């Protein structure tokens, strides 16, 4: 019907019929109003179709039951975290190895110290049995005390050098 009205208006305008000014303006106005109504109806139909499609999509989503996918695996990008965890585990193992090695060295030093103490007592007993003078025994004991102070001084000096090196390079 829309097409027939438009064509009818066009035929009247193009037929050469002489319309007076007022009738011609009314005819043009009717043609313009017809085009506006056509576009409004088309816009209303498109909006109505979009609303219907949106409602049907919403109903489908609301009525759809989601099940886990069985044929495909879901993967989450945690590869960098996995590598970091592996590196941290390796560092932990290495730290345990260093602690074990340190405790082994400490045990060896304690055993060596005990062995030297026993050897010293044997030497002192042998010297006593050989009737060495008391002054020589006191000299040996004083020397032992001086060696102990030298050991403590060396430990402190080494510790301070290591501490200074760590703070200098950090």
Question: Whole-prediction pTM value?
Answer: 0.32
State pLDDT tens for residues 57-75: 988 888 777 666 555 566 5
Q: Please write the tens of the pLDDT for every residue from 45-57.
A: 999 999 999 999 9
Q: Does residue 26 surpass a pLDDT of 60?
A: yes
Distance CA 31, CA 6 (A): 7
State mean pLDDT over 111-134.
80
User: Do residues 5 and 37 make contact, with C-beta atoms less than 8 angstroms apart?
Assistant: no
Residue 2: pLDDT over 60: no
Residues contacting 2, CB < 8 A, separation 6+: 34, 38
Phi, psi of 134 (to 5 degrees): -65, -30
The token duo for 22 is 């007022």
* Mean pLDDT of the region 8-29: 69
């Amino acid at each position: 019907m829309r097409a027939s009205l438009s064509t009818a208006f066009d035929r009247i305008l193009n037929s050469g019929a002489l319309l007076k000014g007022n009738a011609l303006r009314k005819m043009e106005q009717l043609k313009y109003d017809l085009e506006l109504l056509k576009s409004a109806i088309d816009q209303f139909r498109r909006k109505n179709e979009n609303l219907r499609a949106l409602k049907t999509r919403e109903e489908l989503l609301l009525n759809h039951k989601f099940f886990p996918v069985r044929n495909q695996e879901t993967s989450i990008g945690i590869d960098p975290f996995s590598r970091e965890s592996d590196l941290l585990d390796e560092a932990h193992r290495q730290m345990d190895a260093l602690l074990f090695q340190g405790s082994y060295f400490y045990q060896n030093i304690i055993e060596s110290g005990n062995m030297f103490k026993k050897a010293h007592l044997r030497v002192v007993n042998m010297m006593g049995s050989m009737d060495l003078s008391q002054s020589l025994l006191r000299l040996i004991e004083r020397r032992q005390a001086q060696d102990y102070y030298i050991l403590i001084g060396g430990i402190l000096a080494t510790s301070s050098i290591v501490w200074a090196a760590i703070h200098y390079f950090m």
